[in-house]
Amino acid sequence: MANVGLQFQASAGDADPQSRPLLLLGQLHHLLRVPWSHVRGKLQPRVTEEMVCEQADVFASACALARAFPLFTHRSGASRRTEKKTVTVEFFLVGQDNGPVEVSTLQCLANATEGVRLAARIVDTPCSEMNTDTFLEEINKVGKELGIVPTIIRDEELKARGFGGLYGVGKAALHPPALAVLSHTPDGATQTIAWVGKGIVYDTGGLSIKGKTTMPGMKRDCGGAAAVLGAFRAAIKQGFKDNLHAVFCLAENSVGPNATRPDDIHLLYSGKTVEINNTDAEGRLVLADGVSYACKDLGADIILDMATLTGAQGIATGKYHAAVLTNSAEWEAACVKAGRKCGDLVHPLVYCPELHFSEFTSAVADMKNSVADRDNSPSSCAGLFIASHLGFDWPGVWVHLDIAAPVHAGERATGFGVALLLALFGRASEDPLLNLVSPLGCEVDVQEGDTGRDSKRRKLV
């Protein structure tokens, strides 16, 4: 599938299916509504891809299709096949708004599916190739395409500037850790949004090392950062109206003479100290520095972090639903709604810092990095650790998405999170399709007569 390109067209035209095979996709009740006259020319004289759905399902259908065509492979047979195949996708719309798909919609679908496949390719690539240096090259490549020069803080500069969490996790690796930022600051922006991605290119567990059955697959621990990169590329290409910063927390959690030890104490960018009692609880440390940077240096009003954070997420919300933890009930509902509209499903975790944060109590530091009781909602607690470095009284919106289970299906990456970010922040986009799949749908941004500082911000949920 690595040599397959996806092409979205309003009409693929008629053709002999012997030379251009046809696959009709859609929900059964939609397929039953397609008249024979619409498909006759594609099936006769004998029987690329036809998608049957309603207008509201176009975005989710296209993103689902993209997951079927992964880009990464090292199978020897694939390298011998130099020709690139193109799968042409035509949508038959049923129900209301059943006219031909507009050109602007096709462009949005192309950018969104490219983002999904980009994220999946990064997650599928082993750390022998996708180390922190290589991930930075991917970020630079996207930045160059969008005309954005990334900000990069690396290695000893991280230590000097106080990023104790990110530096402490990655300092033992051959390829040093890095904080990278892509920033989009358009005229007319009404608020500042930061997407913070966990980019652990490989997680051995550190000195609290994983076993032989739990370590394989840990190349996927950069799934949050990969999704942020794919979504950022698509969002800017489709016209994003607010300030948007993509923050990448990149490190390899390795073992070596310089590795962080249990009992070490790190000073994080928030100014808080953390006693390490589990070096395999590293994602929250890099994200704590990431969200603190987004707050202190980028002045973000809305901070969303996305991460393959806890194995317990798959137990809490299952293989197909990401877990959401947030300080806003409105944003919690919006994440669930956006997930249903884009196909990246989401379900809430318990947000109760007053009962759960005591799990991190330390006698010698502000907190430990891992819970005392692993049976007490560990996925919620892991998210609360990140939030504590903003402060539970922080007035902005904080959203945490744990995508540990849905980031892969079997042994393949899914590109999960790209569609979710595009849909969740669809109202900040100039694109009509992303507006449609946003939690607000086609509702008006601001009610007439609204006054005050909050009313000047673009309504997203």
Strand partners, 265: 275
C-alpha 245: how far from chain center: 14
Residue that the structure tokens 């009409």 belong to: 11
Clarify whether 40 is annotated catalytic: no
Q: How does strand 346-348 pair with strand 322-326?
A: parallel
Beta-bridge partners for 5: 86
- For residue 160 the two structure tokens come to 């000097």
Q: Select which of 220, 233, 241, 284 is catalytic.
A: 284
Distance from C-alpha of 386 to C-alpha of 365, rounded to nearest angstrom = 16
Helix (H) or strand (E) holding 418: helix 418-424
Rounded CA separation 384/378 (Å):
10
Q: Tell me whether residue 458 is exposed, middle or buried, using C-beta atoms within 10 angstroms of its C-beta: 0 to 12, 13 to 18, 19 or more.
A: middle
Report d(CA 82, CA 449) in Å as an integer: 61
Element (H, E) at 106: helix 103-124
Query: Which two tokens mark 243?
Result: 């300030």
Distance CA 227, CA 421 (A): 8
CA distance 224 to 254: 19
Q: Quick check: 51 and 27 in contact, CB under 8 A?
A: no
Cβ atoms within 10 A of the Cβ of 366, count?
18
Residue 305's closest CA among 180, 233, 223, 198?
198
To the nearest 10°, the Cα dihedral for 255, 212, 285, 149?
80
Catalytic one among 159, 161, 210, 340?
210
Report how far residue 290's alpha carbon sits from residue 36's, in angstroms, rounded to the nearest whole number.
54
Residues tagged active-site: 210, 284
